[in-house]
Structure 1
């Protein structure tokens, strides 16, 4: 397997005059970008950085950030990206945990950097300084890292504990990108909307995959639905790889029309389940050649792939080309304790796959919990249907046990999403003295609809009585993470804004 620096050189050799990166008025071919990246490699050397050093990046998806990612691959540095919304204490944690040797930032992250004690003693450079460095002449950069060296360390979201570092080698990063190209049937010269952040596995995969096919990575520093539609139209974007929330926002923006996105032939999503209602609307609006549900994680890029997401709603498909998966019984002690067909359990993935990580950074406690007998225990729940396709039903911790019955939030959400006056929905279990938990739906409306009407919709859909929400709360917004994952814990904690006054729910009784 090639290291990523050599991989980029191969792209330059293969497609020197092809458009490689776009960011506003900046438009660079592979040959032009390589010259800028080489200058940045020389600049990193002048900062005293050595192979194996971690560099912390707190930047949006701008061309300087993408260039820094590639320069680090040539230099043998470990890119350690943080959410550009990170606060000072989060920067402090990452600096200390990774042992970072330098920090790279931009205007919108300067205040957080000033609040960071850990960053104060490190060399820092802003995006404008990186751009200036890349104007200089420098020798052509040569790769200093091998396929077995570390390339990247992503941090998991840390919703219940401090974030975990996920170090990944060059070979695993490139294997994930090759699989991404194959599994999404990308053609030579595809144009990718580079809006998924480069601190997230989806954003990094889009960047690397684009280079493998001589494609263009069109930077969008910060998502805005109307601007995304305009950028797709202006740059003739051919594929989209987004979390469901961004698709939802784009589809419902006044600027959206099928004609403006007609160049898009492939849709892909990951990061969260997509409701049946949104799948249907996207299929009708885009009429894509391919509609891919990619199920994976930062730790192991691909678990499974479904290439006809709209044709089989809810299906996450089958194991990717570098992977094997199983569904084991809930609370299984061994990966051999396999669940039966249709039985809900925990999804586990083989660690021997080419895209896999090897363990968390300095977290033996996390390794002991997630890595067992050569398998990665994902913490996700799901089942295999009669065709052998995987259906992901949620997180082990999200499972609602009501009156002794297991209820998957995803199934209830998909049912409610098919109502034409439901814009968004999230389902959780709230404490109840009699039932343990009651199924509660938080709904953002797109038109007038009552709780009683939604209850009737659930009845008519065939949703089992014990799965029907016993309470509905209408809200102004569903709380989400920066990459669009629903934050169910906030709903459980009462951290949401009701729509107007409190909304009465269903009678809390069994039927």
Structure 2
């Protein structure tokens, strides 16, 4: 297996004049980008950064962020990207947890960086307006340097992603060059990417989906079109102007695009392949996208930071909700809920916890300095994902949620995803999230939080559920109409915020 630095050089050799990256008015060929990466490598050397050091980034999807990513691959520095919206306490925790030697950021999160109480020995690099004790990023690429040569092999650490940490402190997920490149190659193969395709680079480079888009683009000598911050109208313009070939997004971003006023008139015929991951896609949104794009390929990709690809379904509309079967680098199984060993398999159709094989080429090897997390998640060569799902009679995997999201109501286990998919098909429902709220009688009351596309009452939605094939015990006992469904920066539903009351009511026709 090639290391990632050598992989990039191979891309330069294949197509030095091919367009590699676009960011607004900036356009760089592979040869031009390699020159800037080489300058940054030389500057990192001058700063005393070396193999095995952690470098934290708090950046949006700008060409500089992608350049830092590649420079780290050449030097053996462990790139440690954080959410650019991170709060100061999160930045402080992750920088000190990783024992980072340097941090690269921009003006947007600069206040959070300043308030993080970082050690004075940590080098600070600012992309925009460098102040006292900061290094200007532009100065690091100002001088021409010899072409960078890779200094590590495929077994070296490439980067460390931090999990979202919704219930505890974030966990570092270190990943090696070989696992990263294996994931990128599989991404190319399973999404049928062709040489020179143009990718919308909007999924954040601190997220596994964004990293995979960047690496896959280089492997096919494609063009990575940066979009620093998503907005639906802007995305439609970029897709149209840059003739984007493939989209790989979380469902929320697709939702926002198809509901934008400019969607109907946008020229999107260049898009031939759709992919989604990060969360289940409701049946309603799946149908809308199929009708709008008529894609050659519509991929549902289920994975994680720990194991990039778990399963793939290359025809998402064939069996709505199906995550397909194991990826080309992976094995997957479902064990009974609460199982302690990977051998306690669930029956076909029985909901359980999803496991992935740690022997897979894309798998991580354990969390950064978190033995207690390893003990919970890594057992006998398998990774216990914390996700729930089941295999149907055909052997296709259906992902139903998180173990922590399972609603136990009246002694029955109820998964939110099935109910959400049903309600998403109602024409008055814009978005929906289902949670269990404490209840003296039921233990947990199945509750649907609904953002409406047009007027509808709780009684009408209840009648809609009652007339469907949904089992009676799964029907929501309460509907709450909200202005919007809370989500994370990468579009995942934040059910915990609904449970804790962190939402704004849509005051019309509220359920009792």
TM-score, with length taken from structure 1 = 0.98
Specify which of 480, 494, 508 is matched with residue 487 of structure 1. 494
What corresponds to 1:509 in structure 2? Answer: none
- Displacement, 1:258? 6.4
1:436 correspondence with 2:448: no
1:367 correspondence with 2:370: no
1:85 correspondence with 2:92: no
Determine the C-alpha separation between the residues in 1 that align with 2:333 and 2:95.
36
Contact 1:189–1:214 (CA<8 Å) still a contact in 2? yes
What corresponds to 1:477 in structure 2? Answer: 484
* SS across alignment from 2:118: helix
What corresponds to 2:338 in structure 1? Answer: 331
Determine the C-alpha separation between the residues in 2 that align with 1:134 and 1:121.
22
Determine the C-alpha separation between the residues in 1 that align with 2:269 and 2:457.
36
1:352 correspondence with 2:359: yes
Mapping of residues 5-404 of structure 1, within 5 Å:
5-118=5-118, 120-128=120-128, 129-257=136-264, 259-404=266-411
- Displacement, 1:132? 3.8
Q: Do the aligned partners of residues 465 and 411 (structure 1) sit closer, same or farther apart at CA in structure 2, a change above 3 Å counting? A: same
What corresponds to 2:132 in structure 1? Answer: none
Determine the C-alpha separation between the residues in 2 that align with 1:99 and 1:255.
46
Contact 2:481–2:511 (CA<8 Å) still a contact in 1? no
* SS across alignment from 1:228: helix
How far does the alpha carbon of each residue in 1:259-316 deviate from its partner, in whole angstroms, 9 at most, with x for none? 5211000000000011000000010111110000100000000000011112210000
Specify which of 465, 468, 486 is matched with residue 472 of structure 2. 465
How far does the alpha carbon of each residue in 1:16-70 deviate from its partner, in whole angstroms, 9 at most, with x for none? 1111000001100101100110011011111110111000000000000000000
- Displacement, 1:469? 0.5
* SS across alignment from 1:462: coil
Determine the C-alpha separation between the residues in 1 that align with 2:459 and 2:185.
49
* SS across alignment from 1:430: strand
Q: What residue ranges of structure 1 are gaps of 5+ in the alignment?
A: 506-511
* SS across alignment from 1:117: coil
Contact 2:237–2:266 (CA<8 Å) still a contact in 1? no
Determine the C-alpha separation between the residues in 2 that align with 1:135 and 1:23.
19
RMSD: 1.0
- Displacement, 1:131? 3.3
Determine the C-alpha separation between the residues in 1 that align with 2:317 and 2:462.
25
Contact 1:150–1:169 (CA<8 Å) still a contact in 2? yes
Contact 1:269–1:294 (CA<8 Å) still a contact in 2? yes
- Displacement, 1:178? 0.4
- Displacement, 1:10? 0.5
How far does the alpha carbon of each residue in 1:207-248 deviate from its partner, in whole angstroms, 9 at most, with x for none? 000000000000000001000000000000000000000000
How far does the alpha carbon of each residue in 1:374-418 deviate from its partner, in whole angstroms, 9 at most, with x for none? 000000000000110000011011111111111110000000000
Contact 1:92–1:119 (CA<8 Å) still a contact in 2? no
- Displacement, 1:87? 1.6
Determine the C-alpha separation between the residues in 1 that align with 2:74 and 2:353.
39
Contact 2:416–2:433 (CA<8 Å) still a contact in 1? yes
Determine the C-alpha separation between the residues in 2 that align with 1:236 and 1:281.
21
Determine the C-alpha separation between the residues in 2 that align with 1:361 and 1:502.
49
Q: Do the aligned partners of residues 320 and 404 (structure 1) sit closer, same or farther apart at CA in structure 2, a change above 3 Å counting? A: same
* SS across alignment from 1:187: coil
Determine the C-alpha separation between the residues in 1 that align with 2:108 and 2:278.
25
- Displacement, 1:134? 2.0
* SS across alignment from 1:118: coil
How far does the alpha carbon of each residue in 1:299-337 deviate from its partner, in whole angstroms, 9 at most, with x for none? 000000011112210000000000000000001111010
TM-score, with length taken from structure 2 = 0.97
Contact 1:417–1:423 (CA<8 Å) still a contact in 2? yes
Contact 1:113–1:119 (CA<8 Å) still a contact in 2? no
Determine the C-alpha separation between the residues in 2 that align with 1:481 and 1:204.
18
* SS across alignment from 1:261: coil
Determine the C-alpha separation between the residues in 2 that align with 1:368 and 1:118.
31
Q: When the two structures are aligned, how many residues end up with a matched partner?
A: 505
